[in-house]
Amino acid sequence: MTSGVVETIGLSKQFGRVAAVQNLDLQVGDGDLFGFLGPNGSGKTTTLRMLLGLVFATSGDIEVFGKPMPARAKEILPDIGALVEGPAFYPHLSGRANLSLFDAAGPRGDRASRRRRIAAAIERVGLAGTGRRPYRAYSSGMKQRLGLAAALIRPHRLLVLDEPTNGLDPHGMREIRELLVELAAGGTTVLLSSHLLGEIEMICNRAAIVYRGRLMAQDDVSRLLAATGAFSITTPDVEDAVRVLSSIAGTRILEHEPETVRANLDGVAPDEVNRTLVEHGVRVLAFTPERRSLEDVFLDLTRGKAGDAQS
């Protein structure tokens, strides 16, 4: 990473006999829109809580902005906006009143600019029309939006968001995704926890995949989604194509159907394979590299581990 905003080394958390997080090494760079991806129960929220000093690690080290956490939490936390495990507000107060109390209780909550900042945050998350409606009358999606607004009242170097699109309809999910992209483009580092693989794939430049408390992969999203070496070959001469492909060293047939052959080339140049097929009389109508989704990556990484003991 170019400049470290979050780094963990060997981070672990034990709850009794349950290892919720195990030897986790994360690196979140300055300006990243970083996806922290894994199924529910994989240790994502526990990790975020440790980053914010809400839970103490059993072992390992955490640095945020190059400073140890939680030892220097008083210096670090004012520069972090967070939404973890859903928002909690006073049910009888309006969204604006709740945000006013929230801002007044925190550091750097300048009173002179409070009303303007709250109005801007509410506008950004799509709650401008709620008026004085009490929080208890909010839908789950509105509550989630208000929690995000609380994280946006003041400018922050880092946003830590735990499943921020929970409870939102597709339109609302798109609005929040666009907002996060806008924030990252403006220089805010965003650490986004989600179990929605497609959400991470659409907007994040880097991602880490965790499963049962363990780090399975961490890289640029583009690299995680890089071609696997598998190609789909469309041809009316499937049997001949299978025979020719089987004779090429390093090429492995994955499957074939009446008009398609899927093969892994394992480093063999695609143009050479195509030329060989044509030279042997195979009519190649299409020769297409396959691109993985994050779902494919996740399933590849966790295949055979579903029966592991809970970590």
Average pLDDT over residues 225-233: 79
Contact between 85 and 162 (Cβ < 8 Å):
yes
- Report the predicted TM-score, pTM, of the whole model to 2 decimal places: 0.81
Radius of gyration of the chain (CA): 24
pLDDT of 99 > 60? The answer is yes
CA distance 113 to 19: 45
pLDDT of 215 > 50? The answer is yes
Average per-residue pLDDT in the chain? Answer: 91
CA angle 7, 10, 12 (to 5 degrees): 105
pLDDT of 78 > 60? The answer is yes
For residue 236, what are its two tokens? 């009316």
Following DSSP, what letter does each residue of 69-128 receive, concatenated? TTTTHHHHGGGEEEE-SS----TTSBHHHHHHHHHHHSTT--STTHHHHHHHHHHHTT-G
Among positive and negative, which fits the CA dihedral 35, 39, 40, 42? negative
For residue 222, what are its two tokens? 């583009």
Residue 136 pLDDT level (bands cut at 50, 70, 90): very high
Instruction: Tell me the backbone φ, ψ of residue 65, rounded to 5 degrees.
Output: 55, 30
Task: Kindly state the helix (H) or strand (E) to which residue 26 belongs, with its residue range.
Answer: strand 18-29
CA distance 107 to 77: 9
CA distance 308 to 311: 8
Contact between 122 and 95 (Cβ < 8 Å):
yes
Q: What's the pLDDT score for residue 107? A: 80
Least confident of 77-81, 120-124, 159-163, 292-296: 292-296
Longest pairwise C-alpha distance within the chain: 79
Domains parsed from the chain with CATH numbers: 4-224 (3.40.50.300), 230-289 (3.30.70)
CA distance 310 to 167: 27
pLDDT of 244 > 70? The answer is yes
For residue 51, what are its two tokens? 């980053």
For residue 105, what are its two tokens? 């209780």
Q: Which residue has the higher pLDDT, 129 or 137?
A: 137
